[in-house]
């Protein structure tokens, strides 16, 4: 197939792919330490959650006013981060942005890790998780909660398929190439590769399946975060009662997700030694993407805060003053300045889109994105339209207890655990797509 | 020296005493002497008592309750029972008048609501409960041809559908055992509602010399699909007349009862959701999962294409 490369060159190129991309699946430098850290986090989580389960939600700081605390803020964040799978593998893929190819699997893994745990975060917020089934038995399709459950389940399924389908040729490839694979892994790859031998017919079917999923995931992903925003916007509350919440959430989600992918790319570049795949060029492009979605998000923020602030309706005024100059001012301005404005300005310059710089900036953006969810959820709850009479003074404040902190950390541990497992068991870059791009499909399939 | 220190102690004690007194004074409602000494310019005759009673009913009873029943609202500070002996002996006519005129915190000022004369008439009515200064009595028992009217009392209720009114007829028992119409008996009219009794006919009134009193029924009261309601009358002063009441069914406005759960809406159960929502929800669900199902069949095809 390849015109420009000789047979020898083509072979050595594929061999390099195999060596570079498959090697980290078997050499686990630093993995034990990382897994131990995760295990420790998981133990803390189990301990904290056990206490919450035994004593009830009273062990959290949530009371009659703030009934959605860090758990729900965290849930919104998890759903947000998972949206990046759709942005990168579907939107950019369909737009024929070929530079995105090596990054698609990383994005899909991030999406899977976060969306799978998002459901659990909701269960953690329930006082009686044993009654979870009632949501399915008695849920009413008139309620946004039921829509949310529906779209999240759908999104998990599509994400799984969109992770799995592009993996099939690579599984067959890895099965042939990897010596002394553990037996379970060999069987797993054998079954999952569905007898892939790389016939043109198989390639045709595979492309068709991936294309269908890529198209389907766009409306579903938009729905998942729009519906999540409706959980707030369908309520009559200052700060939530706004018509732009859907696109505002989606834009914010792209920011969080793109930042998470940049960070993971950097870790893989260093730890998996993938400099030749996640190159300066890729970081530059991801930096452009991140600054683009951040600018869109900034634009939504202007609308979301400036318009009500210009009018200052009574109820909005209380809310906005808390954010602008009241109890939440430090957090609000910190997030807006260090999580959005400064990163945007920096990323406009090429030198800050170099890998290490960009990864550092992405950390700020991601932390800002998490805190932003706290700002969206909690201050609004502190100012109901109809205040409760004679409430204890403590109900007017909210600061998470250590139980909430550990349970929330636990959700990160689980998401990172899923991401780690997927990136250790499977090749992190779609090798066959690289080969296809270079016209080396024949070489890719021909190894015996 | 000793003298100074003992003076100091006395001074301190005095300050303490005074300050505790001023705290006390906050809950005690004092009226200036001059105002307290005002005398009532209105004669406490039957007419003024009757008017005072009516005014008291419309303006004060909601908070202070029926005099002598100690059933005022549980506010803090509590609105005193106007027939309470301690209250009556502590407050001169002028004091009652002033308190009513000025008001304090929850106790509204009636300066702009009631004329001075009206306020004095209420004072007369309140004073009529004062055992020490009883000026005139609201006659409850009527003498008739040398006989005294007393218990048991009877109440009959007549419904006039054309006029949509009720007439209550009260009779008491004479010493010889015969019944005779009782005048000046307080009667209340009510219509039974879901959550209590709705007073009608201007909260009732007292019977005339024929022992009768009339009350209009508001015809726009909703009365279910049949437009019926249960009206009743009762003698308010249970202590004097006993627990006497009579009821009758009356016609009010017929209304169609709409059960909000019967129509397709956002607030009912799932199966009663609006059609557009059902079609949208399940349409999307089937469309998306159908496509996913198709992708899964592609996987089988893929497998077959490999052999």
Q: What values do phi and psi take at B67, rounded to 5?
A: -55, 130
Is the pLDDT assigned to residue A388 strictly greater than 90? Answer: no
Asked whether residue B24 carries a pLDDT value surpassing 50, the answer given is: no
Nearest CB to A196 within list B268, B278, B306: B306
pLDDT in tens, A46-63: 999 999 999 999 999 999
Mutate which: A139, A140, A216, vs B, most B CBs within 10 A: A140
DSSP label of A235:
S
Is B266 part of the contact surface with chain A (CB cutoff 8 Å)?
Answer: yes
Nearest to B285 among A140, A142, A150 (CB): A150
Contact assignment for B292 to A209 by CB distance below 8 Å:
no
C-alpha–C-alpha distance, residues A161 and A213, integer Å: 8
CA distance B24 to chain A (A): 26
Which of B267, B274, B288 is nearest residue A220 as measured by Cβ atoms?
B288
Cα diameter, chain B: 124
CA distance A384 to chain B (A): 22
Query: Do residues B152 and B170 lie in contact, with contact meaning Cβ atoms separated by under 8 Å?
Result: no
Confidence of residue B3 (pLDDT cuts 50, 70, 90): low
- Domains of chain B and CATH, by start: 24-133 (1.10.760.10), 143-251 (2.60.40.10)
Mutate: best of B277, B302, B304, partner A, most A CBs <10 A:
B302
Question: What mean pLDDT, rounded, does chain A reach?
Answer: 92
pLDDT for res B39: 84
For position B26, what pLDDT does the model report? 47
Q: Which chain A residue has the Cα nearest residue B290?
A: A216
Report the pLDDT value the prediction gives residue B5, as an integer from 0 to 100. 56
pLDDT of res. B10 = 55
Average of per-residue pLDDT values in chain B? 83
In this complex, do A197 and B289 lie within 8 Å of one another by their Cβ atoms? no
Q: Is the pLDDT of residue B9 over 70?
A: no
pLDDT of residue A428: 93
Q: A11: pLDDT confidence band, cut at 50, 70 and 90?
A: confident
pLDDT of residue A253: 96
pLDDT at residue B33, as a whole number? 86
DSSP line for chain B: -HHHHHHHHHHHHHHHHHHHHHHHHHHS----HHHHT----S---HHHHHHHHHHHHHHTHHHH-STTTT-----SSPPPPTT-HHHHHHS-HHHHHHHHHH-BTTB---TTTS-HHHHHHHHHHHHTT-STT-------S-EETTEEEEEEEEEEEEEETTTTEEEEEEEEEETTS-EEE--S-EEEEEEEETTEEEEEEEEEEE--TTSEEEEEPPTTSB-TTTTEEEEEEEES-HHHH-S-EEEEEEE-B--PPP-TTSS--TTS-GGGS-HHHHHHHHHHHHHHHHHHHHHHHHHHHHHHHT-
* Phi, psi angle pair for B204, to nearest 5°: 80, -160
Q: How far apart are CA A179 and CA A174, in angstroms?
A: 9
Range with lowest mean pLDDT among A71-80, B69-78, B111-120, B156-165: B69-78
Q: What is the pLDDT, as a whole number, of residue B8?
A: 55
Chain A residues with CB within 8 Å of chain B CB: 139-142, 147, 150, 154, 157-158, 161, 165, 168, 194-197, 199, 201-202, 205-206, 208-209, 212-213, 216, 220
Domains and CATH numbers, chain A: 23-426 (1.20.1630.10)
| Cα nearest neighbour of A220 on chain B | B288
Cross-chain Cβ contact B292/A195 below 8 Å:
no
Residue B104 has pLDDT above 70, yes or no: yes
Q: What is the pLDDT of residue B12?
A: 54
Which one is predicted more confidently, A190 or B259? A190
Enumerate the residues of chain B whose CB falls inside 8 A of the CB of residue A154: 288-289, 292
Size of interface A-B (CB pairs under 8 A): 66
Q: Model confidence over B141-190: pLDDT tens digits?
A: 445 456 677 778 888 898 988 888 999 998 888 887 788 888 888 898 99
Are residues B150 and B182 in contact, defined by beta-carbon separation less than 8 angstroms?
Answer: no
Query: How do residues B247-259 score in pLDDT, each as one tens digit?
Result: 889 988 888 888 8
pLDDT tens-digit series, residues A95-118 = 888 899 999 999 999 999 999 999
Q: What is the pLDDT of residue B7?
A: 59
Cβ within 8 Å, pair B302-A196: yes
Q: How confident is the model at residue A383 (pLDDT cuts 50, 70, 90)?
A: confident
pTM: 0.71
Kindly provide the ipTM of the predicted complex, given to two decimals: 0.89
């Amino acid at each position: 197939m390849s015109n420009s490369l000789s047979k020898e060159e083509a072979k050595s190129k594929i061999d390099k792919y195999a060596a570079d991309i498959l090697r980290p699946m078997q050499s686990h430098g630093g993995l034990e330490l990382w897994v131990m850290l995760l295990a420790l986090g998981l133990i803390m989580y189990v301990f904290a959650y056990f206490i919450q389960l035994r004593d009830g939600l009273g062990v959290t700081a949530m009371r009659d006013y703030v009934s959605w605390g860090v758990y729900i803020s965290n849930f919104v964040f998890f759903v947000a981060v998972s949206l990046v799978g759709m942005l990168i593998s579907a939107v950019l893929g369909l737009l024929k942005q070929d530079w995105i190819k090596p990054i698609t699997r990383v994005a899909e893994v991030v999406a899977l890790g976060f969306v799978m745990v998002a459901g659990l975060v909701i269960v953690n917020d329930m006082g009686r998780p044993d009654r979870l089934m009632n949501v399915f038995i008695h849920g009413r399709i008139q309620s946004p909660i039921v829509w949310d459950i529906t779209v999240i389940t759908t999104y998990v399924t599509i994400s799984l398929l969109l992770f799995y389908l592009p993996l099939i040729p690579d599984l067959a490839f890895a099965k042939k190439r990897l010596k002394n694979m553990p037996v379970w892994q060999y069987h797993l790859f054998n079954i999952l590769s569905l007898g892939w031998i790389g016939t043109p017919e198989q390639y045709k079917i595979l492309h068709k399946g991936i294309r269908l999923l890529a198209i389907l995931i766009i409306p579903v992903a938009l729905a998942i975060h729009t519906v999540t925003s409706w959980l707030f916007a369908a309520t009559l509350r200052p700060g939530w009662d706004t018509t732009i919440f859907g696109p505002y959430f989606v834009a914010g989600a792209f920011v969080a997700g793109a930042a998470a992918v940049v960070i993971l790319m950097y870790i893989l570049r260093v730890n998996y030694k993938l400099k030749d795949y996640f190159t300066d060029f890729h970081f530059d492009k991801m930096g452009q993407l991140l600054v683009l979605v951040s600018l869109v998000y900034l634009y939504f923020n202007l609308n979301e805060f400036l318009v009500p602030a210009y009018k200052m309706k009574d109820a909005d005024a209380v809310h906005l003053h808390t954010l602008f100059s009241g109890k939440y001012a430090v957090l609000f301005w910190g997030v807006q300045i260090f999580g959005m404005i400064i990163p945007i300005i920096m990323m406009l310059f090429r030198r800050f889109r170099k890998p290490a710089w960009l990864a550092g900036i992405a950390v700020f953006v991601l932390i800002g994105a998490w805190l932003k969810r706290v700002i969206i959820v909690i201050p609004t709850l502190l100012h109901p339209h109809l205040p409760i009479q004679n409430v204890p003074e403590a109900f007017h404040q909210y600061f998470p207890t250590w139980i909430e902190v550990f349970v929330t950390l636990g959700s990160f541990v689980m998401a990172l655990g899923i991401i780690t497992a997927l990136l250790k068991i499977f090749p992190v870059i779609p090798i066959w797509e690289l080969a296809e791009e270079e016209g080396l499909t024949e070489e890719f399939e021909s190894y015996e | 020296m000793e003298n100074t220190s003992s003076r100091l102690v006395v001074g301190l004690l005095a300050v303490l005493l005074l300050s505790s007194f001023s705290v006390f004074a906050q809950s005690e409602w004092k009226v200036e002497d001059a105002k307290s000494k005002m005398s009532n310019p209105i004669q406490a005759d039957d007419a003024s008592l009757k008017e005072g009673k009516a005014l008291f009913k419309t303006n004060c009873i909601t908070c202070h309750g029926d005099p002598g029943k100690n059933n005022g609202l549980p506010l803090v500070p509590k609105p005193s029972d106007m027939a309470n002996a301690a209250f009556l002996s502590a407050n001169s006519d002028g004091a009652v008048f002033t308190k009513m005129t000025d008001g304090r915190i929850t106790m509204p000022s009636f300066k702009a609501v009631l004329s001075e004369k009206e306020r004095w008439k209420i004072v007369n009515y309140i004073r009529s409960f004062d055992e020490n200064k009883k000026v005139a009595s609201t006659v409850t028992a009527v003498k008739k041809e040398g006989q005294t009217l007393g218990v048991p009392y009877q109440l009959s209720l007549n419904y006039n559908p054309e006029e949509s009114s009720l007439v209550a007829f009260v009779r008491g028992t004479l010493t010889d055992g015969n019944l005779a119409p009782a005048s000046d008996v307080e009667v209340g009219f009510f219509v039974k509602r879901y959550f209590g009794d709705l007073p009608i006919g201007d909260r009732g009134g007292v019977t005339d010399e024929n022992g009768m009193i009339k009350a209009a029924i508001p015809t726009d009261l909703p009365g279910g699909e049949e437009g019926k309601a249960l009206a009743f009358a009762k003698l308010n002063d249970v202590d004097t007349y006993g627990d006497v009441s009579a009821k009758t069914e009356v016609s009010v406005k017929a209304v169609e009862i709409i059960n909000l759960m019967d129509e397709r809406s956002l607030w009912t159960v799932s199966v009663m959701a609006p059609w557009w929502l059902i079609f949208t929800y399940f349409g999307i669900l089937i469309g998306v999962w159908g496509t996913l199902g198709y992708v899964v069949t592609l996987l089988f095809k893929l497998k077959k294409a490999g052999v």
